[in-house]
Structure 1
Amino acid sequence: MTTNGRAIRGGLADAVDGPARMRVIVLLALVVGLEGASNGTIGALAVALKQAFGITNLQVGLLVTASTAIGIVVMLVSGTLADRVNRTRLLWITVLIWSVAMALGGISAGYGWLLASRVALGVVVAVGGPVVASLMGDFFAQHERGRIYGFVLAGEGICTALGVLVSGWLAAITWRLSFLWLAVAGLLLTLALARTVPEPACGGDTFGASAGSDRRDCANDTLAAAVIAQRLSAHPHLVLQESPEGRSLRWAVGYVLKIRTNVALIVASAFGYFFYTGLGTFAVALLRSRFRISQTLAISLIAIIGVGALIGTLCAGRLADWLIGRGYLGARLGVAGSAFLVAGGFFVPALLTDNVVIAVVAAFLAAIGLGGVNPPMDAARLDIMHSRLWGRAEPIRTTLRSGFTAAAPLVFALVSMQLAPQRRAPGQVATASTGLTQTFLIMLTALFLAGTLILTVARRSYPRDVATALASEEATERHRRSQRGAKAAVLDPADRPEPLPRLRVAE
């Protein structure tokens, strides 16, 4: 067993080019997965919580909405912190708070107590996303971020699945254990983050040339080289001449919302997460009511479907990076937009069929598409932004997106209640199934809108926005060097940075 474990660990380390990189990727993946595990737990416990507290679907949805809503309130502040303070310390403190809140949820004496603990969980939504995005940019080079994001975001899918599976199984004993085991897992993650993850230098070389390069290493970066080779011009009014690190939050909000690709990705991401959050909250309830199966079987089917999402997550970013290496500059957004459409297309038969086997197979294929959206799209978001804005750009995006995410469980619940035929026992199970099925069919519109927006708007504006980000990096680096003045002149020749390639700025 020990030999097999070492072989697996060695294989994973080789896949990401070393054990140090693997450790960082795994821990960041677990941080990203905390919210998924938490929401997945609520989805798995929907029936148990309704029975324990005598609540409705609307109140179950509110448990997910509460944690997201508080994240909206403090999101922008956390992004500013991510650009200015020690990020790894901020991250482990955040996870510690999350663990305490999860433990309080497990000992809740009533629905109000449980709801209050969910509000406290919003700190992870507020801090985790911006910090992880900023660390990703500084730990890993631009040309490999799609692949690396695939590994990190796989943590979200795996942790969501674990939240559903383990919490669902523990619910057979008592629903409280479903919260408490996550609290213990969070404490262990806190220790691992505090002791093993270093704080990288902004734009630094944390793991050596293969992983630490930032945009200014244009000659060694496939995407930047493609921009230069195609002689793409930057948007002159968006090229930064000085580092934006010290600029105000108000200025940062205004700047990132001027980037057309970023705005399109924010809207598309909002649509995607709206559907994903509703799916995670009510998928188990839909399976149980529609096919009249047990909790254990429903959880097992969700696990099978989740494997599809994991496949999509691990493959999409790698595919996009491969296509970029062969000259397809817009590959990341092409893959992301197509993945949205694939997911929506396969969810339709999954929701219409009365055969559980066909439904699971179609949902499995849809999950591959849904899982393949985020790795290339998240990598693209870093491509179009100056590195000193990564921390603040992420919460701006997430704040606007989180409004949709927070509303999703409530909207799904309200629509399902309105669409359910107004008849009760003995047909109550069928009634719930009808309302939820029709609700999911309506909400699929969000996936089709997201895919269309990425393919028709974001993919077209992306190349020039990448060129603008590269030109900004070049200009701010040149300004930094000029500020060093005489000090730069006495540097040893071996320590002097290579000249920056000239990028075109439209007149």
Structure 2
Amino acid sequence: MINRENLVNLEHWLCSEYEQIEYRFSQYLPNRARVVIILAAVLGVASANLAALGALAHALETALHISDARFGLVGTVASLSGAILTLIAGVWVDRRKRVRLLAIFAGSWALGMAASGCIPGYLELLLAQVVVGASGISVGAVVASLTGDYFPPSQRGRIFGLIVGGELLGAGIGMLVASIVADLLGWRFAFWSLALLGSLGVVVIRRYLREPQRNTMAKIAIGSPSPSRADSAPARSHKVADLIRRMAISPYPDRVMHEDPTCWPWIRAARYIVTIRTNIILVLGSSASYFYFTGLLVFADLYLMQRFDLPADTASILFMGLGSGGIFGVLLSGWLADRLLHRHIVAARVWVAAGSFFLTVLAFLPAFLLPSVWVAAPCFFLAALFLGATNPTLDAARLDIMHSRLWGRAESVRNLVRYTLVGLAPLMIGLLVGYFQKSGDQGAEALGHAFLLLLILLLIAGLAMVFAAFTYPRDVATVLASEGAPLPVTSDAEHPQAQVRESGD
């Protein structure tokens, strides 16, 4: 029997251990690394929902007595509701304190997950997932805006690589935690365990994140030093802005802002955002990447089982191993783009994304055609690596071409497109599989042909990136002019070259 003295000693020991961990986290981890870890972890937890739903599919269908179609609607409702409600969240991100908003969204996500574990029926699960979807998707807009002000443009490729890597890792952890806890304690405890992670995220956000100043880009635009709060070292160079000035790239005169867009009405802000051609291309390219990734997430296990005659457990383990290539891709692409930027390639981020799309297509082609799992597996791994490599550079490039006071609303427009496609991906792939089955294909053959056909989307995205690489520099110049940079505004400027080399950087 545990007496009161033992309980007091246990409480004292736990408090002492917590204080030691907190001290080490604050003192020995650089502020910049601490911010990256927190943002990546929060985004990772928020992305765990759909993966967890997939792991709990059988348990929920049995407990709630629902069909596969009705269960599939749960994920679709979560994605589409979040895509719509994030439009409101984008306005708040541009006008209110973002760290507080991040904590609120993380808390709402945790409450939605806790409610999902308490639901008595199917309708209540749908309503709870509306809260989860809206909160989780809104987290992405806050994280993007904070990243833009925490870190200088020259570092954003690597930073987004780490953050997007956290998002992918979070999806994997969500699937793993949900599977283990559901097997041991039941599906309700699986939801509650994820809700606990979200609650811990709220505590960490409130304790360790500080609101950065919003005038970071304005300082960069006028050429003054602006060391980030997330990095104690002075910012040596803001490469994108420096290259734009050295190359004397002129902005688009009709899109240079002469007022603060923070309080613009939503319609006016959205109209401005969608008129930026480079932004539209980057958003559609990123959405195509996530569309394909979602299709793989839903159907890859089934494809591996049918194509290579593997048991379910083996197929799941193989899929997780091959999918880990995506994490390597997001880490490598951001680093590579920033290195090329330091080599004076002004549109390096867009060029890296274009190359990643083309390499993804080249890797997936043999992967879906080869008959042996041992030969196809390396191709699938490389394809996952290149597919993951498309996103961090696009995330960084979108901030480069958007006024800092529109980052939140621009991300909400992107999320509307992305999550609409993500929500429709399983349905559209299912329709393609049905079409090929009617044409005589069976099982894995129909799935493989569907994924091969959808590679056209990634090929088109890569070609569009090539076009965006030539419009990107002038869009960056337009942002700098709008933020206050002393750039000439001329209507007859020659189109800049995408690659310039200078000596003595």
Q: What is the TM-score when the length of structure 2 is the normalising length?
A: 0.83
Show structure 1 runs of 5+ residues with no match.
Answer: 1-5, 424-429, 475-499
Alignment partners' CA distance in 1, 2:91 and 2:136 = 15
Q: 1:27 aligned to 31, 38, 43, which one?
A: 38
Q: 1:153 aligned to 164, 181, 191, which one?
A: 164
**1:443 pairs with 2:454:** yes
How has the CA–CA distance of structure 1 residues 374 and 334 changed in structure 2, closer, same or farther, with 3 Å as cutoff?
same
Q: 1:355 aligned to 348, 372, 392, which one?
A: 372
Q: Secondary structure at the match of 2:258?
A: coil
**1:259 pairs with 2:276:** yes
How has the CA–CA distance of structure 1 residues 120 and 415 changed in structure 2, closer, same or farther, with 3 Å as cutoff?
farther
| 1:446, distance to aligned residue in structure 2 (A) | 2.0
Q: 2:397 aligned to 380, 391, 410, which one?
A: 380
CA contact (8 A) 2:45 2:197 kept: no
1:306 matched to which residue of 2?
323
**1:270 pairs with 2:287:** yes
How has the CA–CA distance of structure 1 residues 366 and 168 changed in structure 2, closer, same or farther, with 3 Å as cutoff?
farther
Superposed CA offset, 1:130-164 (max 9, x none): 11111011111011111111111111111112123
How has the CA–CA distance of structure 1 residues 218 and 168 changed in structure 2, closer, same or farther, with 3 Å as cutoff?
closer
How has the CA–CA distance of structure 1 residues 365 and 171 changed in structure 2, closer, same or farther, with 3 Å as cutoff?
farther
Q: Secondary structure at the match of 1:372?
A: helix
| 1:120, distance to aligned residue in structure 2 (A) | 1.9
Alignment partners' CA distance in 2, 1:413 and 1:35 = 26
| 1:233, distance to aligned residue in structure 2 (A) | 0.8
Superposed CA offset, 1:350-405 (max 9, x none): 22233222332211101111111111111100111111111111112221333212
Q: Secondary structure at the match of 1:503?
A: coil
Alignment partners' CA distance in 1, 2:356 and 2:72 = 27
**1:471 pairs with 2:471:** no
CA contact (8 A) 1:42 1:60 kept: no
Alignment partners' CA distance in 1, 2:109 and 2:431 = 29
How has the CA–CA distance of structure 1 residues 24 and 463 changed in structure 2, closer, same or farther, with 3 Å as cutoff?
same
Alignment partners' CA distance in 1, 2:117 and 2:52 = 11
How has the CA–CA distance of structure 1 residues 213 and 197 changed in structure 2, closer, same or farther, with 3 Å as cutoff?
closer
Alignment partners' CA distance in 2, 1:268 and 1:196 = 34
How has the CA–CA distance of structure 1 residues 421 and 45 changed in structure 2, closer, same or farther, with 3 Å as cutoff?
farther
2:125 matched to which residue of 1?
114
CA contact (8 A) 1:67 1:125 kept: no
CA contact (8 A) 1:309 1:371 kept: yes
Alignment partners' CA distance in 1, 2:235 and 2:79 = 38
Alignment partners' CA distance in 2, 1:327 and 1:371 = 24
5 Å-filtered alignment, 1:23-102, equals 23-46=34-57, 49=60, 57-102=68-113
Tell me whether 244-253 or 276-285 shows the greater mean CA deviation.
276-285
2:152 matched to which residue of 1?
141
In the alignment, residue 94 of structure 2 is paired with which amino acid? D
CA contact (8 A) 2:152 2:235 kept: no
Superposed CA offset, 1:442-465 (max 9, x none): 22222222112112x211100110
| 1:284, distance to aligned residue in structure 2 (A) | 2.6
Q: 1:232 aligned to 249, 258, 278, which one?
A: 249
| 1:127, distance to aligned residue in structure 2 (A) | 1.6
CA contact (8 A) 2:251 2:477 kept: yes
Q: 1:345 aligned to 337, 362, 365, which one?
A: 362
Alignment partners' CA distance in 1, 2:390 and 2:227 = 25
1:460 matched to which residue of 2?
470
In the alignment, residue 176 of structure 2 is paired with which amino acid? L
CA contact (8 A) 2:161 2:331 kept: yes
How has the CA–CA distance of structure 1 residues 137 and 211 changed in structure 2, closer, same or farther, with 3 Å as cutoff?
same
How has the CA–CA distance of structure 1 residues 223 and 231 changed in structure 2, closer, same or farther, with 3 Å as cutoff?
same
CA contact (8 A) 1:141 1:212 kept: no
| 1:56, distance to aligned residue in structure 2 (A) | 5.1
How has the CA–CA distance of structure 1 residues 363 and 262 changed in structure 2, closer, same or farther, with 3 Å as cutoff?
same
How has the CA–CA distance of structure 1 residues 111 and 418 changed in structure 2, closer, same or farther, with 3 Å as cutoff?
farther
CA contact (8 A) 2:361 2:383 kept: yes
Superposed CA offset, 1:238-290 (max 9, x none): 11112211221111111111111011112212222211222222323333344
1:198 matched to which residue of 2?
210
Q: Secondary structure at the match of 2:251?
A: coil
| 1:35, distance to aligned residue in structure 2 (A) | 4.3
Alignment partners' CA distance in 2, 1:432 and 1:47 = 21
In the alignment, residue 365 of structure 1 is paired with which amino acid? L
Q: How many residues in Structure 1 have an aligned counterpart in Structure 2? A: 462
Show structure 2 runs of 5+ residues with no match.
Answer: 1-19, 220-224, 492-505
1:486 matched to which residue of 2?
none
Alignment partners' CA distance in 1, 2:63 and 2:434 = 21
5 Å-filtered alignment, 1:201-216, equals 201-204=213-216, 209-212=226-229
1:505 matched to which residue of 2?
489
CA contact (8 A) 1:306 1:367 kept: yes
Identity %: 37
In the alignment, residue 254 of structure 2 is paired with which amino acid? H
After superposition, the CA RMSD in angstroms is: 3.1
Tell me whether 187-196 or 316-325 shows the greater mean CA deviation.
187-196
Q: 2:266 aligned to 230, 233, 249, which one?
A: 249
Alignment partners' CA distance in 2, 1:317 and 1:259 = 23
1:488 matched to which residue of 2?
none
Alignment partners' CA distance in 2, 1:445 and 1:64 = 26
Alignment partners' CA distance in 2, 1:280 and 1:336 = 21
Tell me whether 254-263 or 340-349 shows the greater mean CA deviation.
340-349
In the alignment, residue 44 of structure 2 is paired with which amino acid? G
